[in-house]
């Protein structure tokens, strides 16, 4: 017997495939547009949301029976804000330059619709274990899109991945640049992130016709 039951496994796989927070629910678009010009920033943001949503869902689930209905949103904001502060301080301590790159967007995790949505829609009505799986699943779905967008934007816009030159040196004209390739500077602009996300949505719906709305 596996660690996860089939019902529990769906909590992780569904947001990765047919119910992705960004491509299906169209949530968390702001960060997908703002910080995906570099793959490193995309990965760090994905890990940050994974921590905040996974732990946050568990905390809200544990408190679900004692949170007064009238102040549940305030309690949820306090929980997510506390976790975001932890993330922000860790980044400043161990990756200061990257923390400056992410700037206010780490703080904006507090208002990320995915996190508040999972608190409200799932964590308040389920036990800690299932809430944790739901948080991990949705964070992975969110992170997968961020990393995919960051991968293509940095590769095509700068010719690098994680700062390493993978297409050659544009100054010395080596690699693909020797064949006349030029970096597409438009890929580094925020509107291109929306176009890349749109292409991912198109591919996803092309592969699964059930996702196409009437």
Sequential pLDDT tens for the chain (214 residues): 457 788 888 889 888 888 888 888 777 777 777 788 889 989 988 999 999 999 999 999 999 999 998 999 999 999 999 999 999 899 889 888 888 877 777 777 877 788 888 999 899 999 999 999 999 999 999 999 999 999 999 999 999 999 899 999 888 888 888 888 899 989 988 888 889 999 998 888 888 777 776 6
DSSP-assigned states of every residue in the chain = --SS-HHHHHHHHHHHTTT-TTTTS--SHHHHHHSTTSHHHHHHHHHHHHHHHHHHHHHHHHHTTTS-GGGHHHHHHHHHHHHHHHHHHHHHHH-HHHHHHHTHHHHGGGG-HHHHHHHHHTGGGS-HHHHHHHHHHHHHHHHHHHHHHHHHHHHHHHSEETTEESS--TTTT-GGGGGT----GGGGSHHHHHHHHHHHHHHHHHH-GGGS--
| Other Cβ atoms within 10 Å of 31 Cβ, number | 25
Give me the phi and psi of 68, to 5 degrees please: -60, 135
Phi–psi pair at 4, nearest 5 degrees: -110, 135
**Separation of alpha carbons 151 and 146, rounded Å:** 8
For the chain, state the CA radius of gyration: 19
Q: List, in order, residues 6 or more apart from 182 with CB less than 8 Å away.
A: 170
Give the model's pLDDT for residue 175.
Answer: 87
- How confident is the model at residue 211, as a pLDDT? 72
pLDDT at 53: 94
Quick one: CA torsion of 145, 60, 95, 22, rounded to 10 degrees?
10
Main-chain dihedrals φ then ψ at residue 181, nearest 5 degrees:
-70, 140
Return the pLDDT at 1.
Answer: 41
């Amino acid at each position: 017997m596996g660690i996860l039951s089939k019902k529990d496994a769906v909590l992780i796989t569904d947001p990765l495939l047919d119910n992705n927070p960004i491509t299906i629910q169209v949530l968390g678009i702001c960060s997908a547009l703002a910080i995906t010009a570099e793959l490193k920033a995309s990965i760090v943001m994905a890990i940050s949301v994974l921590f905040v949503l996974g732990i946050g869902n568990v905390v809200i689930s544990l408190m679900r029976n004692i949170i007064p209905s009238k102040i549940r949103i305030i309690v949820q904001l306090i929980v997510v804000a506390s976790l975001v502060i932890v993330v922000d301080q860790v980044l400043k301590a161990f990756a200061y330059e990257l923390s400056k790159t992410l700037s206010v967007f780490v703080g904006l995790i507090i208002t990320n619709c995915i996190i508040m949505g999972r608190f409200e829609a799932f964590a308040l009505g389920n036990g800690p274990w299932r809430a944790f799986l739901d948080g991990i699943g949705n964070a992975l779905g969110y992170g997968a899109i961020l990393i995919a967008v960051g991968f293509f934007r940095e590769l095509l816009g700068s010719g690098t991945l994680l700062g390493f030159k993978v297409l050659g040196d544009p100054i010395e004209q080596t690699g693909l640049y020797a064949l006349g390739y030029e970096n597409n500077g438009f890929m580094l602009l925020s509107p291109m992130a929306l176009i890349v996300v749109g292409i991912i949505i198109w591919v996803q719906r092309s592969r699964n016709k059930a996702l196409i709305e009437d």
